[in-house]
Amino acid sequence: MNLIDLVFPRKCLECGKTGSYICDCCLLKVGKPKPVCIQCEKASIDGMTHARCKRKLTIDYNYSGWKYGGVIRKGILKLKYNFAYELAEDLAEKFVSDLQNSSNILPREGILIPIPLHRLRQNWRGYNQSIEIGKLIAAKMDWKFIPDLLLRKKISRPQTELKEEERMDNIRNIFSFNPNYLLLSTFQARGLSRPEANYILFDDVMTTGSTLKEAGKVLKRHGANIVWGLTLAK
């Protein structure tokens, strides 16, 4: 037993069964959200944005692994306030195995971009859980990973504190494209081809989707080809 086991024993956050932070039984109880179009929130195959809902800068697909409840909610909250690498590993592994089984629309080659947090909103140890889990998911999916492609301009109030109509205003124009990546050479130095690639935007939880939509706009404005919105839970 190593130190981390003593501090944070590997047992299910919901039922206490030992072996994993997220046991399969509790995971099954959480359930999966129905795939919907991010624009109109009506049913859509593979989470594709309906042709009729598509505008110039809209996200093309969205996928959420689970509903935001039970053991998944506990895991995400734990990472937010007290990041634990082993828990992030467990979550990423279960997420990716589901993703590979249930989605045939994801790109073989893509660049995962975690939604940036303002640094004052990162937790006291400086962790941004979306960066840490995003990195694990990108590695498992064999995607490239650029944590600093998008910058966050100013502190916004947490989206969860706001009414739906306030959320769009709160988040409008909050993201910008990192000027370093306007140079093709910056991409190439990191083993990437061109900025007009397939991008996978990643966040831990999706509420109304306004954060993903806003970040997606910035990528599309800078020539992104197809943009996916990927979240652990919804």
Residues 76, 205 contacting (CB under 8 angstroms): yes
Minimum distance, C-beta of residue 200 to Zn ion, in the bound complex (Å): 20
Taking the C-alpha atoms of residue 80 and residue 84, their distance in angstroms, rounded to an integer, is 9
Which residue reads 């806003």 in tokens?
Answer: 214
In the bound state with Zn ion, the residue whose beta carbon lies nearer, of 58 and 122, is 58
Q: Which residues pair with 36 in a beta bridge?
A: 43
Interacting span for Zn ion (CB under 5 A) from 24-32, 60-68, 87-95, 140-148: 24-32
Q: Which residues pair with 66 in a beta bridge?
A: 233
Which residues ranging from 102 to 121 are in contact with Zn ion (CB under 5 A)? none
Decide: is 15 part of the binding site for Zn ion (CB under 5 A). Answer: yes
Minimum distance, C-beta of residue 138 to Zn ion, in the bound complex (Å): 27
Among 20, 26, 61, 129, binds Zn ion (CB under 5 A): 26
Decide: is 20 part of the binding site for Zn ion (CB under 5 A). Answer: no
Minimum distance, C-beta of residue 19 to Zn ion, in the bound complex (Å): 10
CA quadruple 62, 63, 68, 73: dihedral positive or negative? negative
Taking the C-alpha atoms of residue 56 and residue 154, their distance in angstroms, rounded to an integer, is 25
Among 53, 99, 131, 226, binds Zn ion (CB under 5 A): 53
Fill in the per-residue mask, 188 to 207: x = in contact with Zn ion (CB under 5 A), - = not in contact.
--------------------
Taking the C-alpha atoms of residue 133 and residue 117, their distance in angstroms, rounded to an integer, is 14
The angle formed by the CA atoms of residues 117, 122 and 125, to the nearest 5 degrees, is 150
In the bound state with Zn ion, the residue whose beta carbon lies nearer, of 11 and 152, is 11
Interface residues with Zn ion (CB under 5 A)? 12, 14-15, 17, 23, 26, 37, 39-40, 50, 53
